[in-house]
Amino acid sequence: MEFEADKVPQFLTLFEKVKATIANFEGCTHVEVWQQANNPCVLFTYSHWENQNVLDNYRHSDFFQRTWKITKALFTAKPIAWSVNKIATS
């Protein structure tokens, strides 16, 4: 997600408020926020979900819809989301 520089603190404050709710959402096993090393205006939420169904349930929840509406208003570019599968570990 890409934000105006002055919106980054607002997003981080919002994330602090909602991260426990996300982490306690059925099927979520991990959630955190990352910042791009060379561009502090680009942030990523990184979460682990038990399966696609629980992730879809989260994305369709009233909580997500409310939080996403607030977050979307802070963007400077269209967000990109990926669902990935781990294929190797060290």
Q: Check residue 29 and give its pLDDT.
A: 97
**CATH number for the domain running over 5-72:** 3.30.70.100
Domain boundaries, the chain: 5-72
Mean pLDDT of the region 64-89: 93
Q: How many CA atoms are closer than 13 Å to the CA of 35, on its beta-carbon side?
A: 12
pLDDT (tens digit per residue) in 5-61: 999 999 999 999 999 999 999 999 999 999 999 999 999 999 999 999 999 999 999
| DSSP-derived secondary structure for 29-78 | EEEEEEE-SS-TTBEEEEEEESSHHHHHHHHTSHHHHHHHHHHHTTBSS-
Tell whether the model's pLDDT for residue 85 goes beyond 90.
no
